[in-house]
Amino acid sequence: MEKGLLSSVVENLASEQQVICEVAHGSPEYWATVGLRNLILRQPLGLEFTEEEREADKKFHHFASYLGGRLAGCLVLCPREGGDVQMRQVAVVAELQGQGVGTALVEYSEAWARQAGYRRMILHARDTAVAFYEKLGYSKVGEQFVEISIPHWEMEKRLIYIFFCPTSRAKCSKERS
């Protein structure tokens, strides 16, 4: 294969690759996620982030997904008490929705949360996004409620750990205590 053709194939593969990482609060990458959250989650409702919300962001973990080096989606993880962590503001660029970006982001953040020792992921799902979370193993908890003017459901997912028992060589599934 010609060298030029090979390098363009490699470049194309790299541009298709989804890269997900944590971004530091206050970094340019963080501000890009704030822009996306505003565009996808707030502006359609005629809302903007409050000063209180921006201040709270400092304490949270921010994750971003890139496709071909461009921001494709983002979410926020907020540590809560009792081994819980709350997933918030999951947003995918409108033209990229329905292509697996949200799924990959959620799965990455679950892996991150397990690694950090959290036992349960909780979230407030918009009524329109409940089916998306159900496909990822989340269940509704309690009754519907209104948040930022639209119907929401609290949802949860236990973060299960898989262990291999060396004695029986049996595969054991156990919630980390």
Asked if 78 interacts with ligand COA (CB under 6 A), we say no
Which backbone phi and psi does 50 adopt, to 5 degrees? -85, 165
Number of residues counted as binding ligand COA (CB under 6 A): 19
Stretches 20-28, 84-92, 114-122, 140-148: which one binds ligand COA (CB under 6 A)?
Answer: 84-92
x/- string (CB under 6 A) for ligand COA, residues 121-140? ----xx-xx-xx--x-----
Contacts of 9 (CB under 8 A, 6+ apart): 1
Q: Which of 33, 102, 153, 159 binds ligand COA (CB under 6 A)?
A: 102
Give the Cα separation of 98 and 84 in Å (integer).
Answer: 28
Give the Cα separation of 105 and 8 in Å (integer).
Answer: 27
3-class SS shares of the chain: helix, strand, coil, % to 5 = 40, 35, 25
Give the Cα separation of 156 and 136 in Å (integer).
Answer: 11
Q: Kindly tell me which of 11 and 48 has the beta carbon lying closer to ligand COA.
A: 48
Residue nearest ligand COA, Cβ-based: 102
What residues make contact with ligand COA under the rule CB under 6 A? 40-41, 90-92, 97-103, 125-126, 128-129, 131-132, 135
